[in-house]
């Protein structure tokens, strides 16, 4: 929470706030993702009159996202940047005279969320039959022995990851 009283009370006022996210992870319907490294956020807020605000933000976050194939967590850059006008009464991020920076950045980060993360381009993934990490070598199962029940479970898992 950042105190934005000065901007709310003064038409034409523009202020910059540099703060740090309090949360150390993002939680969405599709999972929880730890934030690592710098969590600095820069917010610029301007009271443009008529109960309207200009809201700008910027953060270079790093988040751990599981590899789409082998599920190993991968350090992924999340360059959050936004700028828009909003009605004071419509924004859900202002509570009294405070701006809920964590919630704002959490929601904005979804817009730059990578579609698919791989630990490396040629990641071999997990054996669909026994779950062995094929990057560490073959497991002994043959690809033709794929258990149809396991394949179904993998399908469900893959579908559930789509936002």
Give me the helices (H) in the chain, please.
5-9, 101-111, 148-160
**With respect to Zn ion, which residue has the nearer C-beta, 65 or 67?**
67
Residue 16 tokens read as 């910059």
CB of 35 to Zn ion, least distance (A): 21
Do the beta carbons of residue 92 and residue 104 sit within 8 Å?
no
Of residues 69 and 106, the one with the C-beta less far from Zn ion: 69
Supply the minimum distance, in Å, between the C-beta of residue 128 and Zn ion. Answer: 8
User: Smallest Cα–Cα separation from 3: which of 107, 108, 101?
Assistant: 101
Minimum CB–partner distance for residue 27 and Zn ion (Å): 23
Write down the least CB distance from residue 162 to Zn ion, Å: 18
Closest CB 101 distance from Zn ion, rounded Å: 33
Tell me whether residue 51 or residue 75 sits nearer to Zn ion (CB atom): 75
Give the integer Cα–Cα distance in Å for 107 and 120.
27
User: Residues in the site for Zn ion, rule: CB under 5 A?
Assistant: 67, 69-70, 119, 123, 127, 129-130, 132, 139, 141
Give backbone dihedrals phi and psi of 89, rounded to 5 degrees, phi first: -80, -15
Contact (Cβ atoms closer than 8 angstroms) between residue 65 and residue 40: no
Residue 100 or 135: the one with the smaller Cβ distance to Zn ion is 135
Contact indicator for 63, 39 with CB cutoff of 8 Å = no
| Residue 52 vs 132, nearer CB to Zn ion | 132
Query: In the numeric block, which tokens belong to residue 15?
Result: 């202020």
């Amino acid at each position: 929470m950042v105190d934005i009283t000065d901007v709310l009370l003064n038409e034409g006022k523009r202020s910059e706030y540099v703060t740090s996210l309090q949360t150390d992870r993002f939680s969405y319907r599709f999972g929880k993702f730890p934030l690592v490294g710098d969590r600095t956020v820069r917010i610029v807020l301007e009271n443009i009159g008529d109960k309207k605000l200009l809201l700008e933000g910027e953060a270079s976050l790093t988040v751990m996202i599981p590899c789409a194939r082998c599920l190993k967590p991968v350090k992924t850059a999340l360059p959050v940047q936004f700028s828009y006008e909003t009605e004071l009464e419509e924004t859900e991020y202002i509570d009294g005279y405070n701006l809920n920076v964590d919630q704002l950045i959490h929601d904005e980060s979804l817009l730059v969320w990578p579609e698919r993360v791989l630990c490396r381009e040629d990641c071999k993934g997990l054996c669909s039959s026994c779950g062995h990490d094929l990057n560490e070598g073959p497991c002994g199962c043959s690809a033709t022995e794929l258990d149809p029940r396991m394949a179904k479970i993998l399908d469900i898992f893959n579908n559930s990851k789509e936002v």
